[in-house]
Amino acid sequence: MFKRILAALLLFTLVTTAAPSLEKASASGSLYIAKIDSGNLNVRKSASTKAAVVTKLKKNQQMTVHSQSKGWAHITANGKKGYVSSKYIAPKKTIATATAKKPAAKATTASFSTDYRSKAISVAKSNQGVKYLWGGNTPKGFDCSGLVSYSFKQAGKTLPRTAAEMYTKGTSVASLSPGDLLFYATAGGKKVTHVAIYIGNGQMVHATTSKGVAIDNLSNSYWKARYVGAKRI
């Protein structure tokens, strides 16, 4: 009898000692990602499609999964707890591995880098009408070099910040091609103070103090008189 009582006490001690660690492990959960192609994944108050929606998750949005049962997962996301259908979630590491192995990503990157001049032109032209802002280098406002550096950066090419610094890069060209940088001395002499992007057909896109981001002709008397040279980056 004494041995049975001792064994029972020992088992009780083991269970009560292990319980906190099991609870802690359950609370920590595992990282999952919303596996949906479009729209949003509804997080519901209980494990039912009729339950109220407490929050919504976007594609690949991260969540913590505490448990799964009968096709539903108990999760925490956006600071709220709820339930989602298990078929619309996947472990985070699985998504990351699958994405990393896609060969198409390399092809896209290669295409992106080899055609950066035309892409930079497209970015600059898409910002026509944006106001002039001294020191500005975002669509909230541009100065001349800010527009050029922003446009090329979006196309995968990093340029110096100022027009004068840009003029020290690349190769001087006399016969222009779209994407070449045009340099001007607006203060007179040969000191470069303005930069534009040649877009073809005798036109350039640049940020001007009077019109903001605009397209002008190279034959414009003001700009023609202040032209210093062109560089191909």
Catalytic residue among 65, 123, 144, 213: 144
Q: Give 13's Cβ-side CA count (13 Å radius).
A: 6
**Residues with Cβ within 8 Å of residue 233, at least 6 apart in sequence:** 117, 152, 157, 159, 166, 169, 170, 179, 181
Alpha-carbon 140 to chain mean position? 18
User: Using the 8-state DSSP alphabet, how is residue 45 labeled?
Assistant: S
**Residues with Cβ within 8 Å of residue 165, at least 6 apart in sequence:** none
Look-up of token digits 């519901």: 44
Nearest by Cα to 111 from 170, 158, 156: 156
74 is catalytic: no
Nearest by Cα to 178 from 115, 109, 112: 115
66 is catalytic: no
Catalytic residue among 74, 119, 194, 226: 194
206 is catalytic: yes
Catalytic residue ranges: 144, 194, 206
